[in-house]
Amino acid sequence: MKNKVVIFGVLDTAELAHWYLENDSAYEVIAFTVNQSYLNETSFKGLPVVAFERLEETYPPADFLLFAPMTGVKMNTVRKKIYEEGKCKGYEFISYVSSKATVCQNKIGENCFILEDNTLQPFTEIGNNVVMWSGNHIGHHGKIEDHVFFTSHVVLSGHCHVKERAWFGVNATIRDYITVGEGCLIAMGAVVTKSTEDDGFYMGSPAKKQEKKAMEVY
Ligand SMILES: CC(C)(COP(=O)(O)OP(=O)(O)OC[C@H]1O[C@@H](n2cnc3c(N)ncnc32)[C@H](O)[C@@H]1OP(=O)(O)O)[C@@H](O)C(=O)NCCC(=O)NCCS
């Protein structure tokens, strides 16, 4: 089994990913990679940093795995792009699921970053490239599509369908049987009582659709 991993990034999330993999997984981190235009240092955490554009020359996909747990900036479009570029290069991505998360045989895709104290109830499927920061409740019989980002302490009730690239602020609460539209921004503390439109920005209790301004923040 391949277990040598290259992490995309050299900022906070990459440093955290390195810590979690080194302390709570069977994977061995052997290098970091960033886009050539961000390649300012040749080492990070005592490991080499190489240009993503030429990654396969030093760490070919036949021998090495990739992990790109990135922030959700630009409504998850940047993470989506890097994940898709990694797939085009032929890499298999790992997923990290904390040993302190509660997982009930859920189907979980690749390049997911699922931290401590997440509860994934039975019969909910998680797509590829999904981030769940610490402490979310993910209810039963749900479906979470690719590139979705949960910050912390989100309550997603049972039977919800979350479409691609949705982004949830801290402490958001989603009623059962809701569909959260593609690319939606759900503000911190929002109480979502009805299904949301694609690319909408929702805030408040009960959550109402807002002007687009905040989409520029995330
Ligand atoms: C919704 C959000 C994106 C708005 O960001 P923003 O456009 O920068 O908004 P501002 O901070 O300029 O606030 C604008 C107004 O909305 C209010 N507001 C901001 N966020 C709010 C929220 N979640 N719920 C209710 N009101 C909110 C502010 O108090 C302010 O009100 P005012 O005009 O009466 O003073 C942001 O507040 C949010 O929810 N971010 C998520 C935070 C989070 O989860 N962080 C974890 C990262 S890992």
- For the chain, the distance separating the N- and C-terminal CA atoms, rounded to the nearest angstrom, is 37
Which ligand 1 atom minimizes the distance to the CA of 71?
A: 48
Per-residue confidence (pLDDT) for residue 87, from 0 to 100: 98
Per-residue confidence (pLDDT) for residue 2, from 0 to 100: 76
For the Cβ of 204 lying below 6 angstroms from any atom of ligand 1, the answer is yes
Q: Residues 169, 189: contact at Cβ < 8 Å?
A: yes
User: Whose alpha carbon is nearest atom 13 of ligand 1?
Assistant: 214
Q: Which CATH number fits domain 96-203: 1.10.3720.10, 2.40.50.140, 2.160.10.10, 3.80.30.20?
A: 2.160.10.10
Per-residue confidence (pLDDT) for residue 212, from 0 to 100: 76
Per-residue confidence (pLDDT) for residue 153, from 0 to 100: 98
Q: Which CATH number fits domain 4-88: 3.40.50.20, 3.20.20.140, 2.40.50.140, 1.10.3720.10?
A: 3.40.50.20
With cut-offs at 50, 70 and 90, classify the pLDDT of residue 188. very high
Give the predicted TM-score (pTM) of the model. Answer: 0.96
CA distances from 87 to 18, 67, 187 (A): 21, 11, 31
How far does residue 187's CA lie from ligand 1's centre (Å)?
A: 7
With cut-offs at 50, 70 and 90, classify the pLDDT of residue 38. very high
The domain limits of the chain are: 4-88, 96-203
With cut-offs at 50, 70 and 90, classify the pLDDT of residue 192. very high
pLDDT digits (tens, 9 = 90+) for 97-127: 999 999 999 999 999 999 999 999 999 999 9
Judged against a pLDDT cut of 90, whether residue 29 lies above it is answered with yes
For the Cβ of 213 lying below 6 angstroms from any atom of ligand 1, the answer is yes
